Structure 1
Amino acid sequence: MDVVDRPALDGARVVPADGAFEGFVRQGATLEMKAFTGVSGDAGGYAVPREIDAAIARVLTGASPIRAIANVVQVGSAGYRKLITTGGTPSGWASETGPRPETATPVLTELVPPMGELYANPSASQAMLDDAAFDVEQWLAEEIAAEFAKAEGAAFVNGNGVNRPKGFLTQAVSTAKDGARPLGTLQYLPSGAASDFGGAPDERLVDLMQSLRAPYRQGASWVMNANTLARIRKLKGSDGHPLWQPGLAEGQPARLLGYPVVEAEDMPDIAANALSIAFGNFAAGYLIAERAETAILRDPYTNKPFVSFYATRRIGGCVADSEAIKLLKFAAA
C-alpha cells in the first residue's frame, strides 16, 4: 500500500522555532522569557553568594584616656584601702649637745576608692554563631571591651561614686590654696568671664599651671575635650606665637605651655561655671583600683537556643591627692 503524503491539519501543524514571533504577528500574543539576574531572588539572585567583610566597621566612640595617666593598682578584693599622710613629720634644730624634744607624728588618713562592677550580657543564637560569615564571639568580645573602656573613662571624670568610681570633677572644689583646703577638695581658678576666657587668656593658663606646686609639675599634663582644645589652639601669647605646639614626632602628644595635652571627651565643653580644663599630675592625683581583667562567661544553657556572654569588670577610683590636680572654671570669680 502506497503512503500518500497529505497536508497536515491546521491543529496539528508543527510550530517553528520562532513561534513566539509568529504568534505575535498572527495573533498579537507574546511569549515572555525573563533573563536570570542577581537583582531579585527568584530570578537567580538566590544563587549569587553574598560576601560580608570579616572586619566589621563600628562607629568609634571616644574612650577616656584617664587610665593611661592615672595610678592603676591591681587589688585582690573589693575592700581596698590606702593610707596617706597629711602634714608630714615636723622636725627641729638643736645644738650638738642640746636636748632633742619630741616632735609631732604624721597624721594618717584612710583612702577608700568607691568600687562598682561593670557588666554586659549580650546573647546570640547558636545558629548565628554557626553560620555567620565572621567570628561572632570575637566580635562581641571586642565590642564589650570598647564599651567598658568608654564607661569606665566617663566614670573617672564624672562618676558619682555610687556603685562606680568617683570622678575628679565631682569632688568638692574651692578657690583656697594648698594647705588651706580640706582633704579631698580641689582648687579651681576662675577664667575671668562666664562662658569664656577673660582678658589675657594666656595669663589665666599660666596662673593655673603655676598653681600646681613644682614637685607635681614633673609629669603633669593638661586634660580637656576636643572642643575646648580647638578654642585653645587659636590662642596666642603676647609675642604673637600660638600657645599650642604640635608634637615634634609621630606619636608624641601636642603641648600647651610645654606640657602634654590629653584629649578626654568626657570633659565638659566651655560653658558657664563649667570645669572644662584640668592640669595636674594624675599619677599622683587619681587612683584607679581594679580587681582583675575583664572576665567573660559563655553560657549556652540558661536561655536556649541563645548563647549568653556575661562579661564583668570590677573597678574603682577616686582622687588620691587633692593638691595634685587643678581646675579652670569658666566663671568671673
Structure 2
Amino acid sequence: MTIEGMTSGFSGVAAPGNRPLLSGAAIENGFAAFVRAGTTVETKALSSASDAAGGHAVPEAIDTLIESTLKSASPIRAIAQVVQVGGAGYRKLVTNGGTPSGWAGETAARPETATPTFNEIVPPMGELYANPAASQAMLDDAAFDVEGWLAGEIASEFARAEGQAFVSGNGVARPKGFLSYPTSAVGDATRAFGTMQYLASGAAADFGTEPENRLIDLVHLLRRPYRQGACWVMNAQTAARIRKFKTADGAFLWVPGLIEGRPDTLLGYPVVEAEDMPDIAAGNSAIAFGNFKAGYLIAERAETQVLRDPYSNKPFVHFYATRRVGGAVINSEAIKLMKFAVS
C-alpha cells in the first residue's frame, strides 16, 4: 500500500495535500500499527521496505535506540573500529613491515628496496538474532509502549551475544574475539602476523612480585604510535583487585573518574570494564591493553530486520530480529595481553 493510501491509519495526523507526516507521531503510530496488527507501512523513515513474507525494517528511531544500548552493554563496540557493509562479506588489506629505505651518497647507486607485505583480513560474520514474543492481548493494549519493549528486548539479547563474541568468539558463524588468536611472548619485530603478544604476570594464577611494575611493562610493550588512544580492558573482579595496588610511596595506581563522563584511569589510561573478559586464573589472559581502534574491526550491516510472526505460536506474536555482525583483529601489534603464568 502506498503512503497516500495510509492517511486514515495515522489517526488523522496528516500533512497538507492529504499526505501523512514522515516524522514524529506519524512514524511512531505507523510502526506501532505494524507491531500490533501486522499492517504494512511504508515511509521514508524506514531503512528498507517489507517483503511479501512480512519482513519489515526497524524505523530509524528504534534502530538508534538499539545502537545506543549496545554501546553501553557491549563496551568493545564503543572502543573498536566499526564499519558498515552492504553485503555478507568484508575484506581489508593490511600491510606489515613498512617500506624499507636506505642511505646513499650523491652519485652512488640506488639498489631496489623491498616492498611491504600485504595481508588480507576477512572478519568472520554471523547472523545475530533475537526472538522475543508477546501475547496479542498485550499488544492490543494502547497504553503499552510497544516500541520501547521491542527495542529493549532486542538490544539486551544482541548486547549479550556481541559482548561475548568480540572478546572470545571462535569465528564460526560469529565474530572472532581478540582472545581467540594464537599468542606468543615474541616481540613485534619477529612475531608472525596475526599472533597476539602477551606478557607473563610472573605467577601461575596471580600477580608476581611488584605487580605495579608488570602493569608498567605491559604499557610499554605497546609501541608509542599505538599508545595514543590506548585503554585497558578487564572485568570487574580484575579491576577491583588492581584498584588496591599502590606504588612504593603509597600512591594508588588507579585514579577514579570523579567527574561525570570521565572514565577511571590506570597509569594514565582509561579503563573499560568488559564482563566477558576472563577472571584471574592460571593461563588466562585477564587483562588487555591496546589501541582497539587500530587493532580490532567490527563489520556490520546497517539495518536490523524484524519479521512479525503471529502464526507459529498462537496466541503469542513473535518478533524475529536479525543483524549480520562480524569481527576480527586487524593489527595484532596494537593490542597486548597479560597472561597469568610464570613465563
In the superposition, the TM-score normalised over structure 1's length comes to 0.78
Confirm or deny: 8 A CA contact 1:90 1:105 kept in the other structure. Answer: yes
Answer with 289-298 or 265-274: which moved more: 289-298
Q: Deviations over 1:110-141 (max 9, x none)?
A: 11000000112223232221137522453133
Distance 1:124 1:68 in 2: 31
Q: Percent identity?
A: 74
Q: Which residue of 1 aligns with 2:234?
A: 224
- Does structure 1 residue 126 correspond to structure 2 residue 126? no
**C-alpha separation in 1, matches of 2:188 and 2:322:** 39
Q: Residue 239 of structure 1: which of 228, 241, 249 is its match?
A: 249
Aligned residue number for residue 73 of structure 2: 63
Tell me, yes or no, if structure 1 residue 109 matches structure 2 residue 126: no
How many residues align structurally? 272
For the residue of structure 2 that corresponds to 1:192, the secondary structure is coil
Matches of 1:159 and 1:221, distance apart in 2: 21
C-alpha contact (below 8 Å) 1:129/1:137 kept by paired residues: no
Query: Cα RMSD over matched residues?
Result: 1.6
The superposition leaves residues 251-297 of structure 1 with CA deviations (integer Å, 9 ceiling, x where unpaired) of: 10011001111100101111111111100000001010001232222
- How do residues 29-44 of structure 1 correspond to structure 2 at under 5 angstroms? none
303-312 or 274-283: bigger deviation: 303-312
CA deviation profile, 1:179-213 (whole Å, cap 9, x unmatched): 21111111111111122111000001001111000
Residue 164 of structure 1: aligned partner: 174
Cross-structure match for 2:277: 267
Structure 2 residue 180 is matched with structure 1 residue 173:
no
Classify the secondary structure of the residue corresponding to 2:73: coil
Pairing 1:311–2:321 present: yes
How far apart in 1 are the matches of 2:141 and 2:292?
47
Secondary structure at the counterpart of residue 239 of structure 1 = coil
- 2:170 aligned with 1:152, yes or no? no
Alpha-carbon separation, structure 2, partners of 1:105 and 1:274 = 38
Per the alignment, in what secondary structure is the counterpart of residue 113 of structure 1?
A: coil
Superposition TM-score, scaled by structure 2 size? 0.76
**Which residue of the partner structure matches residue 88 of structure 2?**
78
- 1:66-87 deviations in Å (ceiling 9; x for gaps): 0111000111112210001121
User: Partner letter of residue 259 of structure 1?
Assistant: Y
Alpha-carbon distance between aligned partners in 2 of 1:318 and 1:202, rounded to the nearest angstrom: 30
Tell me the SS of whatever aligns to 2:333.
coil
What per-residue deviation string (whole Å, max 9, x for no partner) do you get for residues 193-245 of structure 1?
12211100000100111100000000000000110000001110112101100
Quote the residue 1:95 is aligned against: 105
3-state SS of 1:196 partner: coil
Matches within 5 A, 1:42-57: none
Q: Aligned partners of 1:264, 1:277: CA distance in 2, in Å? A: 10
Deviates more, 1:291-300 or 1:221-230: 291-300
- How many Å separate the matches in 2 of 1:81 and 1:330? 34
Which segment is superposed worse, 240-249 or 98-107? 98-107
Higher radius of gyration, 1 or 2: 1
2:305 counterpart letter in structure 1: A
Amino acid at match of 2:282: A
Q: Displacement of 1:304 after TM fit?
A: 5.1
For residue 157 of structure 1, report the CA deviation from its aligned partner.
0.2
